[in-house]
Amino acid sequence: MRRGAGPVTTSVLLLSVLVVAGCATGVPTPSQAPPAGPSTVVLGAASASPSPTASPSPAASPSPTASPSPAPVFASTVGPITPALAERMASSWREGCPVALEDLRYLTVTHRTFDGRVATGELVVHADVADDVVAVLAELFAAGYPIRSLRLVDDFDGSDDASMAADNTSAFNCRPISRGTGWSEHAYGRAIDVNPRENPYVRGDLVLPPEGEPYADRPDEPGVIHADDAVVRAFAVVGWRWGGYWDEPVDYQHFSLSGR
């Protein structure tokens, strides 16, 4: 057994010498070899990157300012007289009126107010002039013309005097002409009284409403209608005429299709 062990021992010793020599010369073992190919590039790029310190804060952006409010938009609706509305109109319409309820239309429209706001008002007019009335009110809205109140005369129990005293702009009302007996154009839904206080009815010393007396000499103030102004022209485009052109009486608030 000892005679056969000699060469093996020599080989082992020789291998040990080679391993020690390799370690001494710094030759890397396979597990120590650096990765090759693309992985080496990635590692190189990472090593070149700056350390993950906090980046300087970007310059502060200006704080957002409030967007300007959109310009007011005119809006309107046109509809029939519903049963509920007919019940509400008990003071302005009755059997024997010269126009049937089915021939009337209920309008809602936006309008400017005297304090610079926008409000929604309502009118009842004849069906055959409904679109023209909406077109006129759209023109007045665009022109910035203010309307103090735009409500059905039924909110005043059908009283033209009470509606005028409230400076209410109104249209349909089954009533006779002012201080007369024949049917008013309002009874047909083809007339509108606009801002009665600023635009009163004047017959000699009579001013209606009485609150309109300071405006009888036509001062240049908001709501006051003058010859050939934006209001008169808007109505003229659809063929309506102004009572301010009458000789006697002069009805500055009144516009009608017939001119009466």
Q: Could you read off the pLDDT of 22-37 as tens digits, one per residue? A: 434 443 333 343 333 3
Per-residue tokens: 248? 């006697």
**Residue 60: its pLDDT value, please?**
54
Rounded distance between C-alpha atoms, residue 167 and residue 118, angstroms:
17
Query: Distances from the Cα of 37 to the Cαs of 34, 43, 45, in angstroms?
Result: 10, 11, 13
Element (H, E) at 83: helix 83-88
Residue 136 contacts residue 194 (beta carbons within 8 Å): no
Cis ω for the linkage preceding 209 (within 30 of 0):
yes
**Residue 194: its pLDDT value, please?**
98
Cβ atoms within 10 Å of 166's Cβ, excluding its own: 19
The sign of the dihedral angle between the CA atoms of 159, 161, 165, 171 is positive
**Residue 40: its pLDDT value, please?**
32
- Taking the whole predicted model, whether its pTM rises above 0.85 is answered as no
Q: pLDDT below 50 — which residues of the chain?
A: 1-54
| Domain spans, the chain | 76-256
**Residue 70: its pLDDT value, please?**
81
Rounded distance between C-alpha atoms, residue 23 and residue 28, angstroms:
8
Per-residue tokens: 181? 């007996």
**Residue 181: its pLDDT value, please?**
76
141, amino acid identity: F
Rounded distance between C-alpha atoms, residue 33 and residue 6, angstroms:
36
Q: Could you read off the pLDDT of 76-102 as tens digits, one per residue? A: 999 999 999 999 999 999 999 999 999
3-class DSSP state of 168: strand
